[in-house]
Structure 1
Amino acid sequence: MSKIRRFLTINQNKIEIFQKGKNGTPIIILTGMDCSFDEWYEVTESLSKSNRVIMFHRPGQGASEIRNEVRNTQTVVNEVSELMQSLKLSEPVVLVGHSYSGLCVQHFVKEHPKKVAGIVLVDSTSVDLKILDDLDLPVLNEGSTDEIWMEKCHSYSQMTREELREVINPTLTEKQKLLPNDIQQRLISFQINPSLYKAMHSEISNWKRDGDMIKNLVEYPDIPLIVIGRDKEYNIRLGTKEGIPEWELRLFEEKWQELIMNQVNLTSNSKFIIAQGASHSIHIDRPDIIVQSINKINSLFN
């Protein structure tokens, strides 16, 4: 590909596209709710040596435009379908979804089974995510319920970039500080974009209804699937260092892992992997696990 980053018009929005590599089965990676495709640098650098890798910033993310459309999994499904059409992808693709986008992938595969050759779900949001609301987690829930996040996102969406910089004080992880300087700058800029929080507000307000709706769609097609979950004990250790009670963290992490493991039952041709030493950001902590999983899916039909 001569242009790694460019723009396409999708659903009347100017959308920022990333493409690298030009051989092999196309791989489409959908990022999490507040995640830039630049965070996936190590994954895409490795995969693009043998495959065509495609990513995009959903409306509101990065330099992608957003209007007043509803942001839900159906909208993302339509955008991915239109993206494939615009890029003239006629063959089935490997579809990768992280976090919220794992929910979108589960929706897409049910609606367009013939367009997908294999799936990798990376610590994916569950269609049963509302079960997490039933857990008694007084400290964890103190500032992180959907309602609180929606209120924050609405407030942030009304601010300027300069105001967001003051409020959020955007930072990079130690591993992100090892990335090329231009990517580091884009990752900082990504966090202080008011449009990002406009999009997140809409996605959060709809995701539980989306989960219920996806469950009631047609049966999941029996195609190759790898489910990657984060390291439960590692996340508990991280949380206790921040002063969160271990019993709350263990209750949450055990339920989260149970929901992740349930995704293995979506097909009969599936595998579950725990990314040892990884937080929810597996693409940053253990990019090797993601690359190995995608290559494993690729090997099944190449």
Structure 2
Amino acid sequence: MSNIKKIVDIGDKELEVWKSGKGRTIIILPGMMSSLAEWELLYEELSKEARVIIYYRAGYGKSDKGKIPRNCTENAKDLYALMKKLRITSPIIIGHSYGGLILQEFVMKYPNEASEIILVDSTSYGAHKLDEVEIEEEDGSSTEAWVEKCKIYSSLSKEVLQVEMAEWITEMKKNLSSSQHLEVEEFMSNPVMFESLSEELEHDLLTCGETNQHKSFPNTSTIVIGRDPKASITEMVESEGLHRSEAEEIELIWQTLILNQTKLNYKTTYIMAEGSGHSVHLEKPEVIKKAVDSILNSTEVED
């Protein structure tokens, strides 16, 4: 199956776009620090029955950052511009993590553009509440600390970043085919990506609870896929070294925010990705595939 990678000019910047398959259009919005390589297997599966488009947002991959500081509002504008450039109408749009926050902003700003959306363990407008949890022996994992780290990383050269990110890159490669290893290395050694990331974190995760809840959510058909709290808590304890009580407190906040997403409109349904932590697209991709199939099959019946 042909996988086309191209640079698309959306007016004020160029974006790196991957597309494959034919038929109904599905657009995928990855989360923060998420290489398109992470989506390879699901992308290929979905493209067997639809036209799938996934792209690096501004500042990521080979996409230009542009002159305007990055935030979910600007990212939503870029998605709209890309859809117009590629003449895409009524797509199914999938947003994971921060990509889900962009997607929520998009459908509020452009309520008639997406036919259905799937929020995959999506970041919420109240995500700043997670930083209120007191972590013993805080290791600099707060959002504020990450903003500062990213600002430092953005000032480093590609060569220095490859060394700095070596352990992270090695960990990411474990979930990917060897053909995608170079993609991850390039992605994680891009100083411009960290510049964009610092702006997104600062604007959308530190202040979004106060500034972005300003519009009503349209009645776009919505599927909310949430992670399994048990799997997530175990992951935080074993991989991040948190005490169980800390992980449980964080998870309670996250699950409450996901519950709030299920009330976005009367056309929202909820699915738990049993056994999966935050990276549903890697741990339980079949859950996302099944959600997409339910939309495609429903559309076929209606047609």
Give the superposed CA RMSD.
Answer: 1.8
Residue 257 of structure 1 is aligned with which of 240, 245, 255? Answer: 255
Q: Are 1:222 and 2:219 an aligned pair?
A: yes
Q: Are 1:278 and 2:276 an aligned pair?
A: yes
TM-score in terms of structure 2 length: 0.92
Distance 1:46 1:200 in 2: 29
Q: Are 1:95 and 2:113 an aligned pair?
A: no
Partner of 2:157: 160
8 Å CA contact 1:172, 1:188 repeated in 2: no
CA-CA distance at 1:268 after TM superposition? 1.1
Partner of 1:62: 61
Runs of 4+ in 1 over 2 A off after TM superposition: 133-139, 172-175, 208-214, 238-243, 297-302
Select between 145-154 and 63-72 the one with higher mean Cα deviation.
63-72
8 Å CA contact 2:172, 2:184 repeated in 1: no
Q: SS at 1:119's partner residue? A: strand
Cα displacement string for residues 124-143 of structure 1 (whole angstroms, at most 9, x for unaligned residues): 0111112223223334x531
AA partner of residue 204 (structure 1):
L
Select between 250-259 and 64-73 the one with higher mean Cα deviation.
64-73
8 Å CA contact 2:131, 2:143 repeated in 1: no
Partner of 2:108: 110
Q: Are 1:77 and 2:55 an aligned pair?
A: no
CA-CA distance at 1:210 after TM superposition? 3.7
Partner of 1:129: 127
Distance 1:296 1:3 in 2: 24
8 Å CA contact 1:93, 1:116 repeated in 2: yes
Partner of 1:53: 52
Q: 1:210 to 1:134 in 2, by over 3 A?
A: closer
8 Å CA contact 1:103, 1:211 repeated in 2: no
Partner of 2:6: 6
Q: Are 1:182 and 2:195 an aligned pair?
A: no
AA partner of residue 12 (structure 2):
Q
Partner of 1:145: 142
Q: SS at 1:143's partner residue? A: coil
Distance 2:185 2:2 in 1: 26
AA partner of residue 75 (structure 1):
E
8 Å CA contact 1:235, 1:279 repeated in 2: yes
Q: Are 1:199 and 2:192 an aligned pair?
A: no
Distance 1:244 1:157 in 2: 28
Distance 2:66 2:247 in 1: 38
8 Å CA contact 2:173, 2:184 repeated in 1: no
AA partner of residue 247 (structure 1):
S
Q: 1:3 to 1:42 in 2, by over 3 A?
A: closer
Distance 1:200 1:37 in 2: 16
8 Å CA contact 2:128, 2:208 repeated in 1: no
TM-score in terms of structure 1 length: 0.92
8 Å CA contact 1:11, 1:79 repeated in 2: no
How many residues are matched?
296
Distance 1:3 1:292 in 2: 22
Cα displacement string for residues 248-276 of structure 1 (whole angstroms, at most 9, x for unaligned residues): 00110111111112100012122211212
Distance 2:204 2:265 in 1: 23
| Structure 2 alignment gaps of length 5 or more | none
8 Å CA contact 1:8, 1:14 repeated in 2: yes
CA-CA distance at 1:15 after TM superposition? 1.1
